[in-house]
Amino acid sequence: MQTLEEAELCFPQLLNTSCKKHIRPRAEAMLIYIVLSSISLLTVALNLLVIISISHFRQLHTPTNLLLLSLAVSDFLVGLLVMPFQILSTEPCWLLGDLVCVLYHFIPVITLSASVVNMVLISVDRYVAICDPLHYPTKITAKRVQICVFLCWGYSVFYSFVLLHDNLEQPGMYNSCYGECVINVIGVVDLIFSFIIPISAIIILYVRVFAVAVSQARAMRSHITAVTLKRSATVTVNKSELKAARTLGVVVAVFLMCYCPFYCVSLSGYELIIGSSTEVLMIFVVLFNSCLNPLIYAFFYPWFRKSVKLIVTLEILQPHSCGANIL
């Protein structure tokens, strides 16, 4: 009996203080590893393509694309560092120690915060471009965008230290037994700064952008007098309205779809069991947004498809390929 009991402990030598192993069925564990590993690899690959494209081709060195590059870097780090460690945390026991447990949580907080803030900055960029197009070149310059990106990452690092300060001072203080990796954060602070404020800003900005786009399209239709021109312009305007509506719906719906489940559980007061399948699913739905971001913000651009073709065929290794015309 003692052998059987010790076999169920994370640290058999610590009979009274060791956590018990909660081993999943083999089929469930294999499914989790395969799905999460595939998502991690896909996230790394897609965001790496965005990073190479924007960094290499001169035509893509615009303020808007600098924001896309920053977003791709944060999402790339999520796929490269956060997801693999999250897969590791699905194991029944944490064997890397309390300090590594705390340091491990710094990376997700920094990268996910940077990803969310970058989305807000992109929303601001699109707002100025649509609502104040005449002053866009003077308001949104490459230097100002670089400063905003720097502040974005600085804020993310500072926010992670504030959120995990208590855990860093005394690693493992919230563990109930050896073999756990439990981190305590102020849920209200995380809810406000990681979800409520960003999603409110994105929704308000994009609703304003959509409203302005529709009003401009209607104004264009009302000033067209020639029948033939009116017909052709109407088709163009309708397409632009649909594109604006589709982009708005995809951006907001995907962000809500990925982030709402986790934060709605927090709002409901329901406590997720650490290491449970439900917790793993909730967290990876949030992380999956990093895989979808390059699809939303990059695959909608024709230049991305052209740049991917040049990258895959290794034509970017040719001399002066950085000056290729891909727009």
SS (H, E, C) 135-182: HHHHHCCHHHHHHHHHHHHHHHHHHHHHHCHHHHHCCCCCCCCECCCC
Q: Which residue segment(s) compose the domain that 300 sits in?
A: 2-323
Residues 113-131 have pLDDT tens digits of 898 898 889 888 888 888 8
Q: How confident is the model at residue 143 (pLDDT cuts 50, 70, 90)?
A: very high
Segment among 52-61, 143-152, 222-231 with least mean pLDDT: 222-231
What's the pTM value of the predicted model, to 2 decimals? 0.82
Tally Cβ neighbours within 10 Å of residue 194: 22
Q: Tokens 């990059």 label which residue? A: 298
Q: What average pLDDT does the structure give for the chain?
A: 78
Cα–Cα distance for residue pair 247/241, rounded to 1 Å: 10
Give the CATH number of the domain where residue 100 resides: 1.20.1070.10
Q: If we measure between CA atoms, which residue out of 249, 251, 288, 283 comes closest to residue 266? A: 283
**Count of structural domains within the chain:** 1
Joined together, the tokens standing for residue 77 give 């780090």
78-87, 170-179, 219-228, 275-284, range with the lowest pLDDT: 219-228
Highest-pLDDT range among 23-32, 151-160, 223-232, 318-327 = 151-160
271: exposed, middle or buried (C-beta count within 10 Å: 0-12, 13-18, 19+)? exposed
pLDDT of 137 reads: 87
Q: What would the two tokens of residue 42 be?
A: 């896909």
- pLDDT at residue 216 above 50? yes
For residue 135, the tally of other CB atoms under 10 A from its CB is 10
Measured distance CA(107)–CA(193) in Å, rounded: 17
| Amino acid (1-letter code) at residue 159 | Y
**Nearest by Cα to 124 from 105, 144, 95, 154:** 144
Q: Are 71 and 119 in contact (CB under 8 A)?
A: yes
pLDDT at 192: 85
What are the φ and ψ backbone dihedral angles of 62, each rounded to 5 degrees? Answer: -115, 160
